[in-house]
Amino acid sequence: MQERLYNFSAGPAVMPVSVLKKAQEEMLCLPGVGASVMEISHRSKPFDEIITAAETNVRTLLAVPDNYKVLFLQGGALTQFGLIPMNLIAGTDRSADYIVSGTWSKKAAAEAKTQGKVNIVWDGKVSGNGFRRKPSQSELALNPEAAYCYITLNETIEGIQYPVEPETGNVPLVADASSEIFCRPMDVNKYGILYACAQKNAGPAGVTMIIIREDLLDKAAIELPSMFSYKKQAEARSMLNTPPCFSIYMLRLVTEWLLHDIGGLDKMYAINKEKAALLYDVIDSSNGYYKGHADKEFRSIMNVPFRLPSEDLDKKFQQDAAQAGLMTLGGHRSVGGLRASIYNAMPREGVVALCEFMKDFQNKNS
């Protein structure tokens, strides 16, 4: 078998090896079942145990309060860009506030406009010097009558995180946590809706987790197709139709790894901070050879975009890194340069290998 490389992909992204091994072990036959998870009814007892365990793990990891539902839906984060306004503002005069802090929140605002009134309360392209920082509370003129206020917690492409989430008073805070979920402990009480696609930090593509406060289930003003209705999905425990069984099974294994191998999100957070510090330290000690994209205070501990003194060097870096077994370091087109995604499952050794490579590359190419 070919050797696994250190994979810095932004998503779908690296998974814990022990999780992949467990899935491999059970690929042909779930213990006591006689078939794999892909071959049994989603209405069966073994699958009920899997989806229940996945939900219990999510609730335990994030201390999800009882007045929140946890949904496992299909269609990725982008589908939620549409479902959120569909369920909360479509067909009403109410508007939603959107904080545009990067590529993903910009896209979410554009999608929301297809469903209702959207108010861009801050645009980081202009006010954040090209999405290099998040807004401070004093920059936000929020509408106290808004149906919700929307944020993207970690902007995966620009590599910026909120040091603290905006304060929205009685207006429900709705957050895309796709590349933030499980990287640190979170206070779910702060949110009306907290959601994340799985393929960054929670499992493979195919399932999206929606943690939603119960009073928001019932806000739809227009009649929605069942699959688009949070209320109907919650009533059916995300099983109006066949759910993404395999992805939910994998999410269960990843959350088990977080709980039992890592020891919870406090521990995961400490590990993540240390890994990110190693990498940012190399950037900061390079005398400007490596330039990070984000303003320091807003640096993401999950995605680290940076560039070298020229585009040619960016290209050479990426090629030489691949030769050295460090894969998928290309940056997103809109930011350019390089990006190292160092999600939960990226081992510390992988980050150390990248740091050593960076120092060596600078010595040889400056």
Ligand X SMILES: *Cc1c(COP(=O)(O)O)cnc(C)c1O
Q: Are 102 and 155 in contact (CB under 8 A)?
A: yes
> Is residue 104 within the footprint of ligand X (CB under 6 A)?
yes
Residue 98 is a binding residue for ligand X (CB under 6 A): no
CB of 323 to ligand X, least distance (A): 28
For position 11 contacting ligand X by CB under 6 A, the verdict is yes
Our answer to whether residue 104 is catalytic in this structure is yes
Cβ proximity of 72 and 209 under 8 Å: yes
Q: Amino acid letter at 21?
A: K
Minimum gap (Å) between residue 6 Cβ and ligand X: 20
CB of 251 to ligand X, least distance (A): 13
Nearer to ligand X, 156 or 247 (CB): 156
232 an active-site residue? no
Whether 317 and 291 have beta carbons less than 8 Å apart is answered as no
Nearer to ligand X, 76 or 185 (CB): 76
- Smaller CB separation from ligand X, 11 or 172: 11
- Does 179 bind ligand X (CB under 6 A)? Our answer is yes
Q: Is the preceding omega at residue 172 within 30 degrees of 0, hence cis?
A: no
Q: Which one, of 218, 172, 165, 209, lies nearest residue 187 by Cα?
A: 165
257 catalytic, yes or no?
no
Q: Whose Cβ is closer to ligand X: residue 200's or residue 219's?
A: 200
C-beta separation of 181 from 202 below 8 A: yes
End-to-end CA distance of the chain: 37
**Rounded to the nearest whole angstrom, what is the least distance from the CB of residue 177 to ligand X in the complex?**
8
Q: Do 305 and 159 touch, CB atoms closer than 8 A?
A: yes
Tokens 């696994």 label which residue? 4
Please report whether residue 339 would count as binding ligand X according to CB under 6 A: no
Smallest separation, CB 303 to ligand X (Å)? 8
In the complex, which residues of this chain contact ligand X (CB under 6 A)? Answer: 11, 76-78, 104, 152, 156, 176, 178-179, 197, 200
Q: Which residues are catalytic?
A: 104, 176, 200
